[in-house]
Amino acid sequence: MSNTNDRIETLVGDRLRDRDETVAVAESATGGLLSSTITDVPGASTYFDRGYVTYAYRAKLTALGVTRESLDEYGAVSEPVARQMARSIRDRAETTWGVSVTGIAGPSGGSDEKPVGTMFIGVSYAAPWETKRSDAWVSRYEFDGDRLDIKEAAARRALVELLKRIDALA
């Protein structure tokens, strides 16, 4: 069994604390699990600002400002929506980082194009003003397992993606 200090949520927290940076998350399919995982670390309040669970289209529209056009054209489980979610939570919370997860946890709701287990994970960065380095990245994954397995895999992968982006800017 790995040491608790090797857990991804601890590594992310240490990195954010060391850099004096903050994070907020907007999650859909993970239903709050990403926020819960981040706050499993003692002292998370020094870097974790907030988490929104925007499960429905309307919640994404009203709480995050995801455009109706994006939801209509691409659907909630899409790269453009994940990108908007990550940017919006970052900007609304005024944090350094924003993370989003949107997908299909199953057991139903999948299609040939987006099977059960499909997740889009977004990470956004707020660079210092006038540097023109703010950005957002989205990755698509397909996880296997039952509903809980998929949610857990997506929450952990979101933290891996965040850590990867933090380290790339170090």
All structural domains of the chain, each given as residue ranges with its CATH number in brackets, are 4-168 (3.90.950.20)
Report pLDDT for 6.
75
Per-residue pLDDT band at 2 (split at 50, 70, 90)? very low
Mean pLDDT over 6-17 rounds to 95
Q: How far, in whole angstroms, is CA 139 from its chain's centroid?
A: 10
Mean pLDDT of 81-92: 98
What pLDDT does 150 receive? Answer: 97
Tell me the average pLDDT of the chain.
95
* Tokens describing residue 159: 């933290």
CB atoms within 10 A of CB 47: 23
pLDDT of res. 3 = 47
With a pLDDT cut of 90, the percent of the chain lying above it is: 94
Distant-in-sequence, close-in-space partners of 49: CB < 8 Å, separation ≥ 6? 22, 23, 24, 93, 94, 95
Looking at residues 62-76, what average pLDDT do you find?
97
Q: What's the predicted TM-score (pTM) here?
A: 0.94
Answer yes or no: are the C-beta atoms of 104 and 110 closer than 8 Å: yes
In the predicted structure, residue 54 carries a pLDDT above the cut 70:
yes
Q: Where are the beta strands (DSSP E) in the chain?
A: 23-27, 48-53, 97-103, 118-125, 135-142
**Cβ pair 121, 100 in contact under 8 A:** yes
Q: Under DSSP, is residue 17 helix (H, G, I), strand (E, B) or coil?
A: helix
The reported pLDDT for the residue numbered 1 is: 36
Nearest partner of 137 among 94, 90, 89, 86, judged by Cα: 86
Report phi then psi at 101, rounded to 5: -140, 125
Provide mean pLDDT across the span 81-89.
98
Long-range contacts of 126-129 (CB under 8 A, 24+ apart): 126/90, 126/91, 126/94, 126/95, 126/96, 126/97, 126/98
